A and B are shown apart, each in its own frame.
Chain A
Amino acid sequence: MTAVAQRVPRTDRFGPRDLLAEAAAGIGARPGRLILTILGTVLGIASVVVTVGLAQTAAGQINKQFDAVAATQAVAKPATNRGFNGNERALAPLPWDAPDRAERLNGVDAAALVAEVDAGDREITAVPVHDPSAPRVTSPTLLATSAHALEALDGRVVQGRYFDEGHDTRGDRVVVLGVDAAQRLGVSRVDRQPSIFIGDRAYQVIGIVDGMVRRTDMRSAVVLPMGTARTDLGLASAQELHMHIAVAAGPVVASQLPTALNPNAPETVTVQAPASTSSVQQSVQADINTIFLALGAVALLIGGVGIANVTLLSVLERVGEIGLRRALGATRRQIAAQFMVESVVVGLLGGMVGAALGVAAVTIVSAVQSWTPILDLRMVGVAALAGGFIGLLAGLYPSLKAASIEPISALRGGV
């Protein structure tokens, strides 16, 4: 070769940067058309993101309910009416064997009576400290429960143990302390068998408990067995029957418990149990999801066909340009790559815009419903990429068409 030809080094022949730049210029040449082209993909991707996003958010909402104690908690109370003096009074007290009766029902895992005990003027103090100069602190609250309170109230033992049916029926002078009450009374260990005093009677501390998420006030209370409270402190009745129930057992428990507790007068018992997240409701939700996903799929199909159409149209419009590029030295492969990349970029754009719109929609709906929006970010990324994939499929035929154009015939027309 001669000197003239060697003057220009041929190093950067249509590299990836050139490919991207040419594709971008091709897309940017007709911005108005671009919007119409990506519309289908935008709608398709957006509806898929919204469907999946709302499903995830709703699932999160349901999980939250289950996490919340509410889903496995039921409480029975005596029905009340207003007496002549305007005070609420119970129609009938809960029976003392209410826990046994409740636990015989299907779906009730544990049940325990809880009562607030009036200590009268008895002070609750710890031994051996009795310092007259110390400021008087308010006594901890005094509660009484039956044996299975730990299970029924979602509590846990920090030290020692909870009392059992034996303590309850014998009326043993034992107590369990909530963690806060234990701290206030200066009881840190139970293995030395410490005692506390209610009035002038000593009660052995057999355990310290925490949790008790259904009655958090128990953490700062001194808890007696029900039987002990009846004999020593004249407890007349319990106020609440707490139950730990199986998930979704709420309606059954609510309907059966009054009769179980008081067969002669079931109306004297009111039950608060969680309504089940009905299976009907769930399947409706699933149907809606299916419909939305199907709509999304149809929109994506239309979006893909739209991209394919517009890319093909643009190939036909740009026959002259293709011929020129071939004359300038473009290979068939480079021509195909250019239209392919244009189509993929258009699809990606549609995917990203659609994903962004979908995220916005999920966020707005969640804000309106005061839900916590939950969206898998990977899913959003995949949705945007899916747009690119649609562009890839849609670009196949137009790109092959563009590559097959013969430069001579192409150049006979104008650009």
Chain B
Amino acid sequence: MTVLDLLGDAPTESPSEVPPVVELRGTARQFPGDPPVHALHPADLSVGAGEYLSVVGPSGSGKSTLLNLLGLLDRPSDGEYLLDGIPTAHASERERAALRAGHIGFVFQAFHLLPHRSVLENVLLATIYSGVPRAERRDRAVAALERVGLSHRLDFPPTVLSGGERQRTAVARAVVSQPRVLLADEPTGNLDSESSEAVLELFDELHAGGLTLLVITHEDDVSARAQRRVRIADGHLREIA
């Protein structure tokens, strides 16, 4: 089994029937203060199933703020955010946790792997919260790690892995429970160019397999890998033609 098998072919339905995976409707985030910080000005964005989108912008431009909103880790102070057609801005914490578990896969700059658990256990962690049937968890996790080329590292602690291997473990964890969208915040920020390339190739393959990807970066060559690019500056979102 491979992740490509798991993810299956791209959806066959025509786009008009299917709501976008990610849809921002005048979504804004400001942090209270004196003066208040407008980290994200009201933004509209629609990402369809299977799209590969990058958000590029300099440090402090509001990229992480945007990703936290998209990942349901934070609530917009204004506007609505629909995930897979489901309105989330005023959903309960419980619903939002369930959506995070089932619809979203995260890849962070700092990997966020548990140091005391093996590579396999780290991937299994995602299946626990997303509710993958217990009997399928191990097979899926092993398949996901195989897919990212780490089947020989299943029982290693992440602390002995290289940065590239750690990030690939994190990617395996992000896709193991078949999210609707993969959100990556500076996924190559802590990697050398070779490891970065391996991770970006992985993203290309996942995209080819039909996964919706949204990658946030400050590097232009990383953002150039995406099919569609959005620039963010001072909290303003602008599509790059």
Contact = CB atoms under 8 A, between A and B. Distances in A.
The yes or no verdict on A and B being binding partners is yes
Interface of A: 1-5, 7-15, 17-18, 22, 25, 29-30, 320-321, 323-332, 334, 407-408, 411, 414-415
B116 A327 contact: no
Contacts of A321: 114
Contacts of A334: 129
B84 to A, nearest CB: 7
B231 interface: no
A13 B113 CA distance: 21
B130 A327 contact: no
B108 A325 contact: no
A331 B102 CA distance: 13
A25 B112 contact: no
Nearest to B115: A415
A4 B102 contact: no
Contacts, number: 121
B8 A325 contact: no
Contacts of B180: 2, 4-5
A107 to B, nearest CB: 72
A169 B42 CA distance: 123
Contacts of B6: 7
Interface size for chain B: under 10, 10 to 19, 20 to 34, or 35 or more residues?
A: 35 or more
B130 A8 contact: yes
A332 B93 contact: yes
Contact of A13 (B73, B93, B130, B210): B130
B128 A5 contact: no
Nearest to A29: B116
A301 to B, nearest CB: 30
B100 A329 contact: yes
B152 interface: no
A324 to B, nearest CB: 5
B138 interface: no
Given A2-B18, A14-B129, A411 B74 contact: no
Interface in B95-110: 97-103, 106, 108, 110
A334 B94 CA distance: 11
A321 B111 CA distance: 11
A2 B10 CA distance: 10
B73 A408 contact: yes
16 contacts: A2-B11, A2-B84, A3-B11, A4-B210, A9-B132, A12-B134, A30-B116, A321-B114, A324-B125, A326-B73, A326-B97, A330-B129, A408-B68, A408-B74, A415-B110, A415-B115
Contact of A8 (B71, B93, B132): B132
A2 B131 contact: no
Contacts of A326: 73, 97, 100
Contacts of A12: 131-134, 137
The 3 closest A-B pairs by CB, nearest first: A329-B101, A13-B131, A10-B131
A234 to B, nearest CB: 96
B84 A1 contact: yes
Contacts of A4: 7-8, 11, 49, 178, 180, 210
Contacts of B73: 326-327, 407-408, 411
B174 to A, nearest CB: 9
A325 B113 CA distance: 10
B125 A328 contact: yes
Contacts of A3: 8, 11-12
Contacts of A1: 84
A290 to B, nearest CB: 44
B113 to A, nearest CB: 6
B112 A415 contact: yes
A7 B112 CA distance: 27
Contacts of B13: 2
Interface string B114-147: 1111000100011011111110010000000000
A5 B114 contact: no
B188 interface: no
B177 interface: yes
A30 B210 CA distance: 41
A18 B132 CA distance: 12
Contacts of A332: 93
Given A4-B8, A332-B93, A407-B73, A415 B84 contact: no
A140 to B, nearest CB: 81
Interface centre among B68, B99, B101, B111 (most CB of A within 10 A): B101
Nearest to B121: A25
Contacts of A5: 84, 102-103, 178, 180
Nearest to B211: A4
A154 B102 CA distance: 82
Interface string B11-48: 11100001000000000000000000000000000000
B160 to A, nearest CB: 15
Given A7-B178, A10-B131, A328-B126, 6 more contacts: A10-B101, A10-B102, A11-B131, A11-B133, A25-B121, A325-B129
A177 to B, nearest CB: 79
